[in-house]
Structure 1
Amino acid sequence: MKKAKAIKIICALLSALLLLAALLVLSGRRTFKVSSVSGFSMNTPVHLSAAGPDPEKLDAALQDALRILENLNDRLSLYQEDSLLSEVNKAGGLHPVQAGPEISTLLKEAAEICKLTGGSFNPLVGPLTRLWKINKREQGDYTLPTQASLDDVLPLVRIENLSFVSPDQVFLRQKGCTLDLGGIAKGYASLKIARHLASQDIRSALIDLGGNIFALGAQPDGSPWKIGVRNPLDPGGDPIAALAVKDAAVITSGSYERYRIVDGKRYSHLFNPATGYPVENDLRSATVVSPNATLADALATALMVMGLDRASDFLESFLKEDPSLGVILVHQTSDGPSLAVTANLEDRLKVLSPGLTVTCIPK
């Protein structure tokens, strides 16, 4: 699922990454050195950078962050046969599985967000992921699922199939139910890494998990991080906007990176859990800005499923409960891409693409 994060937001416009790659940054009376590490986990490239006065402490904290990430991947991977998630999925309809307090809490949050979004985000979308087998790296012979096959798996996607028989025991009520946390796991991981770095007294860091960004603190000079928003109609081109961010996740979902093309039609990796079909609406990407990266990740997926009008209605209600949440929706018009932006981001967003239309949501 997902995330595939479309319009994925790329770390501090690359220029900010180059800034972090510098050997040192001066701030007041102290000299801040910069450390960076890269890797591959959760099926995506990982880039972590942090600044501080003690390079050994930075290096140790970043290496610990990579281990934290790999530990989460070992438990949450849909594709590792020995992962905790695979164990839960295999036990569907048979018996509960001891998931432990951390993963149980994450699954409960996922279930709550599913209900909050009317099912647009759904952690049980795994049967659709397996049925459609959408992956742009595997474009060979392919047959679209039949309506009959979709009808067979749709009952498995109902969130009521996810239950907790004790605080830490997870049970999938039907055989064939499949948890797929691709729409929430990287957000959760970035938040966990940010908290770890903060616990090590690191106040300036940039966490990039395949375009899922968490900006910890500010840049070493005190200015906000500048996060680039990609054009989903030209993802390899220049960013269409830049967003100033401190202490928040910036997470995007979209359909331009993972898809299949069958008979000239593109099928997204994002699914509508109600119909079982890949998402097909006027939205091309949805970016969510929030200190809660777990929520941001899941809501980015949900908004993509909703489409522009339903997303606007949802935000009108949701922002009354959480006015700090920021959203950027890129939608298709006859004149090209257009941005719909929540009011709380307007003064932090710089449009880089000439002629780009920007409107406020909710209306």
Structure 2
Amino acid sequence: MNAFVHRWHLLRRLLPLLGLAPMVAACQPDTVKLTGPTMGSSYHISYVRNEGTPSPEAVQASIRQLLDELDRSVSTYRDDSSLASFNAAPAGTCQTMPPMAIDLARAARKLAADSDGAYDVTLLPVLDYWKFGPKAARERAAAARSGNGDGLTVAQLVDAGGKPASPGNDAATSGTDTNPATTGDDALQALRARTGMQHLRIDGDRLCKDAPITVEFNSIAAGYIIDRMAARFAAQGIRNYLIEVTGEMRAGGQKPDGQPWRIGVEAPLDDARVAQRIVSLRDMAISTSGDYRIYREENGRRLSHLIDPRTLSPITHKLAAATVITDSAMQADGLSTLLMVLGPEQGYNYAVRHQLAALLVSRTPSGFATRTTPAFEQRFPVSSNQRLDGE
């Protein structure tokens, strides 16, 4: 699948603690492992096979069917997807859409309404303006083939001295939760006529647009398809599993030994890149969003790929990563992105107000600081087996 190839989720770091790789290593004999390409990255699934469950080949075929359906429905990297057709339609029109697209649009509208506009899936022209969207990706690919591409920088979270990557005097050090449009104000303001969740409506099985908007669901699509896979597993009698798609994860039931699935959330320490916090999951999903891996530099400024829809500009606050744990992978996926847009204070307050189990990592002059919500501490209290050696 070629959809969402530049979606930064593929560089997230949620680590199953069996080998610290995005799959379960050294599995028990009665555990089946499945893997394959998707969304420009990959998926990894481990499940406990029970008597009467379908064969691994049948399970993988059903997974492939779901992924192909998602690709045909909402890919922004193929011209024949249903979403591409909707995006090409003029303002003032409605189009019948597949159920997956309607599901995603409904979820996106709710996140937007709950956040007073801090979540928006109509930012494709803005992403292209800042050279992070599909159009810009194609232009970079063409430039790279001709030897003239500047590409995106994939940064390391910490440098050799254990300090935040590229702190500079802008994105890494600004203390505000929102930022002004710093370049091309006139061009950005012109783009407002082509963006805005208020212009996206749902009419039964149709999506409607009141303005020439274009839509992408990259911030919730992986989580959504994980939830669909989990529902498929339930129908197939599979109760115990760990699903990972482009870094998003959902754990069902338990491992063959009766223990919960243990996931490490990577965060920078003074001397290494390791799992800072370990969480044990049963029937829950986890998602981490961050601004430290995909960015580009322009005129000496570090520009994050995460766009604040209220300013149409890259975020410039001190929040480096946000982890959310809920019972829905799609909700965790979207909420982790939303918290990153809101920033360290607004994001934390939003998470507390909505009783989210969230872990936020912010930049400080000396490195990074971690802050967890009361709901996180209640569900995942730190104990001896959850701390890393040396903590």
Query: Quick one: which amino acid aligns to residue 173 of structure 1?
Result: D
Q: Deviations over 1:13-33 (max 9, x none)?
A: 3437699444634xxxxxxx1
1:10·1:227 contact (CA, 8 Å) conserved in 2? yes
Aligned to 1:161: 199
Q: Choose from 216, 233, 236 the match for 1:197.
A: 233
Q: Does 1:310 align with 2:375?
A: no
Given the superposition, is the C-alpha separation of residues 63 and 101 from structure 1 closer, same or farther in structure 2, using an over 3 Å criterion? closer
Instruction: List per-residue Cα deviations over 1:254-297 (Å, max 9, x = no partner).
Output: 11222112233321111000111111111101111011221111
Residue 324 (structure 2) aligns with: 288
Partner of 2:360 in structure 1?
Answer: 329
Q: Post-superposition shift, 1:9? A: 3.7
- Contact 1:253–1:287, Cα closer than 8 Å, also in 2: yes
Percent identity over paired residues: 27
Q: Distance in 2 between matches of 1:14 and 1:262?
A: 40
Q: Deviations over 1:191-240 (max 9, x none)?
A: 11111112111111111111111112222212111111122689x92222
Partner SS state of residue 196, structure 1: helix
1:351 & 1:23 partners in 2: Cα distance?
23
Aligned length: 340
Q: Which moved more, 1:346-355 or 1:64-73?
A: 346-355
Q: TM-score, normalised by structure 1?
A: 0.85
Distance 2:23 2:123 in 1: 40
Aligned pairs (5 A) from 1:47-58 = 47-54=44-51, 57-58=55-56
Corresponding residue for 2:74?
76
- Structure 2 counterpart of 1:220, from 238, 241, 256: 256
Structure 2 unaligned residues grouped into runs of 5+: 141-148, 153-181
Report the TM-score when normalising by structure 2: 0.79
Show the 5 A alignment for 1:36-115. 36-54=33-51, 57-115=55-113
User: How far off its partner does 1:59 sit?
Assistant: 3.6
CA gap 1:338/1:352 in 2 versus in 1, 3 angstroms: farther
Cα distance per residue 1:139-196 (max 9 Å; x no partner) = 6189x962222111123221111012x3111112112x11111111111011111111
Compare 261-270 and 302-311 and name the one that shifted more. Answer: 261-270
Distance 1:92 1:77, change over 3 A: same
Alignment of 1:204-283 (within 5 A): 204-231=240-267, 237-283=273-319
User: C-alpha separation between the residues in 2 aligned to 1:193 and 1:238?
Assistant: 29
Q: Does the 8 Å CA contact 1:253/1:286 hold for their aligned counterparts?
A: yes
- How far apart, CA to CA, are the structure 2 residues paired with 1:233 and 1:191? 32
Q: Is the 8 A contact 2:14 2:263 kept in 1?
A: yes
Counterparts of 1:169 and 1:109, CA distance in 2: 15
SS at match of 1:240: strand
CA pair 303-3 structure 1, distance change in 2 beyond 3 A: farther
> Cα offset for 1:250?
0.4
Distance in 1, matches of 2:27 and 2:275, equals: 26
Which string of whole-angstrom CA distances, capped at 9 and with x for unpartnered residues, describes residues 43-76 of structure 1?
A: 2221122111358524421331122112212211
Instruction: Indicate if the aligned counterparts of 1:51 and 1:58 stay in contact, CA closer than 8 A.
Output: no
Q: Which amino acid is the alignment partner of residue 200 of structure 1?
A: Q
CA–CA separation in structure 2 for the residues paired with 1:275 and 1:317: 24
> Quick one: structure 1 residues 348 and 199, their matched pair in 2 at CA, closer, same or farther if it must change by over 3 Å?
farther
Per-residue CA deviations over 1:312-359 (Å, capped at 9, x if unaligned) read 22123212xxxxx3111111122322211122332345343856xxxx
Question: Residues 3 and 18 (structure 1 numbering): CA distance in 2 closer, same or farther, change over 3 Å?
Answer: closer
Q: In 2, Cα distance between the equivalents of 1:233 and 1:110?
A: 34
SS at match of 1:15: coil
Amino acid across the alignment from 2:36: G
